[in-house]
Amino acid sequence: MGKFYIGLATSFHDPAIAIVNGEGSVLFAEATERYLQNKRAYGLAADVREMVRQVLKGYCDPNAEFVVAKPWSQRVHNLLRFMDLIGMTNHESIPRRPQQMTRQLLEKHVLCSSIWLQNGSFALSGGNIADILLKDFGNKKVSFLKFDHHLAHAASACFTSPFEHAACVVVDAYGERGSLSYYAFKKGRIERVEQVHGLESLGILYGVCTELCGFNVEKGEEWKVMGLAPYGHLDDEMLNDFRSLVTVKDLSIKYPALQQIKAWFKRMAPKARSPGAPAQDVADLAYTTQFFYAEIMTQLLNNFFGRGISDQLAFGGGCALNSSYNGQILEKTGFKYLHVPSAPADDGTALGAALLAYCHHNPNRKPGTNVQNPYLGSSLSKRTIENLLKFGRLSKIRQLPGTIQHETARLLAQGQLVGWIQGRAEFGPRALGNRSILADPRPLDMKDRINSLVKFREEFRPFAPSILDEFGNDYFENYQVSRYMDRTLTFKESARKKVPAIVHVNRTGRLQSVRREWNPLYYDLIHSFYELTTVPMLLNTSFNIMGKPIIHSVEDALGLFYTTGLDALVIDDYLIEK
């Protein structure tokens, strides 16, 4: 029957579940928000009962032995139990708004551990799996392991990389002792080089500035700062204020005394976006925030590169979602190769924990190579698709086995907006061609059409190009392979006029490189579009509307299709048109 390793992301946000089998192959990985259709699933356990039942039945032998791994160490669990005993994890005792939490953290007024949960149960979750196995399957063969939070991030980054050796950096809002950790990865082993202790956090500072820009950290809207930044300019006075707040010392960052932090907040308050004001009013703040973040990260990474561990960098933690900076790393640092996993933030710690548990029990074996595959989530229900065909009374639906990519490419070339669903969902926040909304990148007004008719989001938000990898050098300066849409690069001058819908105001695009061996049908779709238009790329955005997770079910897809301006919906080899 073998053994299965289940990893749970158990922070108070972005819970997820991952499963690794006894051979070290990843069977499943998905954020809980997808199943619940609750953005970031704040305050909810990773192991939602009905979701777990489906996963166990679909990907495991429920009678096998199970190891449940959590990405927070025993030290944290002991601390949370103590906090429970003295009432510190009471729902009313913990600051609810992110700006309150971040400010108090910066001013060193609260225990850093209070940001990990809004009551004492979340980081201690995992009992649902044991209970389900016992009640539904009569299985008592369940044990538990706990790992350091940043180590789980590092495992996710290193084991999903193509590297045999790498330097690994984890940067987030806060882990167990701090926000920065450094590792060396070699021969399947991860060794900690340095873990920086203290409340100073570049991720939290970026979150503070996100709130000052009028966006919501709870909803993960830091990406809006990245999207808005190119519309602004560098504010030298503001930059000097940032530099007075944060300094780099080797591999750590330092904040000044409490009074100076308070003075910084006082100076920044007038620069904040007023309620109801347009986002462009704070474009300079967004630009300066992103500029300063890049400045500090470059210093830290160059200092770490100086340790001589490797010229290959595996980058994990929530800050690794800053694709605007990721595209600059190889240019601004000594590293020659970069890997960012498809799920670098806390949802990815579920996979990291599961892989660590596998390695714990198999110290002389490495995880299987399929950990580099991002298509690890759920498939759409075949039964529901059958019911749709039987009862849906759809007036215009065709099944096109073997030709669905060609017909879809034709519709896209005609300017239609298409929802595209194939196979298993992507693990992580990016749609990589299996849960995507697609469009022709050539029309100048295409970005505005999608923002206003489908996504219902701000006009300054850009869209991503999915490009055939072999054409990357024709379209981008200093082209880098970006398999998981993890970095932003600059379009060549000669290419910008060809695809204006996916060129941001600063001539950049957060690209996804597509190779046939990674996603055959998506590659063939783009290639068919290329044969029709001579353009080897598509506009790609996630199949959702603003504020909702990427769709999970047939019902989710149909609801979005019929309540937005999408023209066509593709589910496997079925084409539905309005």
**3-state SS track over 280-316:** HHHHHHHHHHHHHHHHHHHHHHHHHHCCCCCCEEEEE
Using a 10 angstrom Cβ sphere, with 0-12 exposed, 13-18 middle and 19 or more buried, the burial of residue 382 is: exposed
Distances (CA, A) of 109 to 97, 105, 122, 199, 266: 15, 6, 23, 10, 17
Query: What is the band of 2 on the pLDDT scale with cuts at 50, 70, 90?
Result: confident
Indicate the range of 29-33, 71-75, 411-415, 562-566 predicted with least confidence. 71-75
Burial of 457 (0-12, 13-18, 19+ CB in 10 A): middle
Domain 3-91+116-159+344-372: CATH class, spelled out: alpha beta
CA–CA distance from 199 to each of 105, 344, 430, 539, 557 (Å)?
A: 7, 21, 30, 40, 42
Q: Is 330 a residue whose pLDDT tops 60?
A: yes
Q: How confident is the model at residue 85 (pLDDT cuts 50, 70, 90)?
A: low
**What pLDDT score was predicted for residue 47?**
85
pLDDT of residue 87: 58
Per-residue pLDDT of 115-126, as tens digits, reads: 444 333 444 455
Specify the pLDDT at position 400: 98
Cβ neighbours of 250 (radius 10 Å): 13
**For the segment 218-232, what is each residue's pLDDT rounded down to a tens digit?**
888 999 999 999 999
Per-residue pLDDT tens over the stretch 484-531: 999 999 999 999 999 999 999 999 999 999 999 999 999 999 999 999
Map out the domains of the chain as residue ranges.
3-91+116-159+344-372, 196-339, 382-577
Same fold? 196-339, 382-577: no
* Low-confidence winner among 132-136, 464-468, 516-520, 521-525 (lowest mean pLDDT): 132-136
pLDDT for 94: 41
Query: Do residues 404 and 411 touch, judged by C-beta distance below 8 A?
Result: no
**Residue 76 pLDDT > 90:** no
Residue 408 confidence (pLDDT): 98
Distance CA 470, CA 512 (A): 12
Q: Is 256 helix (H, G, I), strand (E, B) or coil?
A: coil
pTM: 0.94
Phi-psi region of 489 (alpha: psi -120 to 50; beta: other; left: phi over 0): beta
Helix crossing, 283-305 with 236-245: angle to 10°? 40
- Quick one: which of 132, 11, 117, 4 has its CA closest to 60? 4
Whether 375 has a pLDDT exceeding 50, the answer reads: yes
Residue with tokens 């008592």: 140
Q: Are 325 and 331 in contact (CB under 8 A)?
A: no
Q: Flag whether pLDDT at 12 surpasses 60.
A: yes
CA distance 13 to 41: 6
Q: Looking at domain 382-577, which of 3.40.190.10, 3.40.50.300, 3.40.50.10800, 3.90.870.20 is its CATH number? A: 3.90.870.20
- Can you tell me whether residue 420 is helix, strand or coil? strand
Confidence of residue 111 (pLDDT cuts 50, 70, 90): very low
Query: Cβ distance 419 to 569 under 8 Å?
Result: yes
pLDDT at 82: 65
- 78 phi/psi in degrees, rounded to 5: -65, -40
Average pLDDT over residues 528-554: 97
Helices 404-413, 520-533: axis angle to 10 degrees equals 40
The beta strand positions in 41-93, using DSSP E, are 65-70
Contacts of 78 (CB under 8 A, 6+ apart): none
> What's the pLDDT score for residue 84?
61
The rounded distance, in Å, linking the Cα atoms of 55 and 123 is: 21
The span from the CA of 344 to the CA of 319, in Å, is 8
Q: How confident is the model at residue 104 (pLDDT cuts 50, 70, 90)?
A: very low
3-state secondary structure of 181: strand
Rounded distance between C-alpha atoms, residue 248 and residue 255, angstroms = 9
What is the chain's alpha carbon radius of gyration, rounded to the nearest angstrom?
23
Find the mean pLDDT for residues 443-472.
95
Cβ(524)–Cβ(516) below 8 Å: yes
Q: How many CB atoms lie within 10 A of CB 393?
A: 7
Q: Which residues sit opposite 539 in a β-bridge? A: 439, 465
Are 153 and 143 in contact, with CB atoms under 8 Å apart? no
pLDDT of residue 88: 53
Chain centre distance of CA 274 = 29
Q: Bigger pLDDT: 80 or 43? A: 43
Q: Which fold has domain 196-339?
A: Nucleotidyltransferase; domain 5 (3.30.420)
